[in-house]
Chain A
Amino acid sequence: DAGVIQSPRHEVTEMGQEVTLRCKPISGHDYLFWYRQTMMRGLELLIYFNNNVPIDDSGMPEDRFSAKMPNASFSTLKIQPSEPRDSAVYFCASSRGGVNQPQHFGDGTRLSIL
């Protein structure tokens, strides 16, 4: 089975530009998670969806961040406008429902804002 697919793998852009990160979850998984990882703060949950509906976005740092899941096989995380402090690795993960179900991570997008 294909794993979680993220694109792009690397993104370098200038401050103020819009950034869009993409994720395709594992087929059949009804939960999708967006995380950000930095050396200072570790792995932080930004937002998660269940059946395409956002459940908890309390981790989204500010209004510059938005996430959508228009269908079961695609999600986006947008940053507009981007700032240097947004530089991090962004991971998407998916899982089936159920208390014992693990999350499976994509390879991540390494984002650098200059």
Chain B
Amino acid sequence: QKEVEQNSGPLSVPEGAIASLNCTYSDRVSQSFFWYRQYSGKSPELIMSIYSNGDKEDGRFTAQLNKASQYVSLLIRDSQPSDSATYLCAVRRTGTASKLTFGTGTRLQVTL
């Protein structure tokens, strides 16, 4: 079992729709969770972080964390073509200092 798992996609959604990206992790005592966006040929860029169970909203983005079920998700409302990118889920496990474990990413395509 991979430590952090994501569906590689591509996930295709029409412009204006809600995109839902999911991530599961294996270490039950993981502490903090991050979503990065990576455009083709560019570096990963932090878009959201979440540490407690529940939802956290920032503009069109909502991160959701459920520690009991060991999943974290990212919702993108009113999806735009500029949201087309690969989204990386990263998890900080207990006792690993500042080290992050990354998933392989989900490629999102927002179609016109």
Contacts and interface: CB of A to CB of B under 8 A. Distances in A.
B47 to A, nearest CB: 10
A96 B92 CA distance: 14
Given A43-B102, A91-B44, A107-B43, A102 B49 contact: yes
Contacts of A102: 34, 46, 49
B27 interface: no
Interface of B: 31-32, 34, 36, 42-46, 49, 51, 88, 90, 92, 97-100, 102-105
The 6 closest A-B pairs by CB, nearest first: A105-B43, A42-B104, A31-B98, A43-B102, A102-B46, A99-B31
Q: Is the interface of B mostly helix, strand, loop or mixed?
A: loop
A99 B99 CA distance: 9
23 contacts: A31-B97, A31-B98, A42-B102, A42-B104, A42-B105, A43-B102, A43-B104, A43-B105, A48-B99, A50-B98, A55-B97, A56-B99, A91-B43, A91-B44, A98-B98, A99-B31, A100-B31, A100-B32, A101-B98, A102-B49, A103-B98, A106-B43, A108-B43
A84 interface: no
Given A45-B100, A91-B44, A103-B46, 11 more contacts: A42-B105, A43-B102, A43-B104, A95-B98, A100-B49, A101-B98, A102-B34, A102-B49, A105-B36, A105-B43, A107-B43
A78 interface: no
Interface residues of A, number: 24
B34 A45 contact: no
B54 to A, nearest CB: 15
Contacts of B31: 99-100
A98 B97 CA distance: 7
Given A42-B104, A99-B31, A99-B32, A105 B44 contact: yes
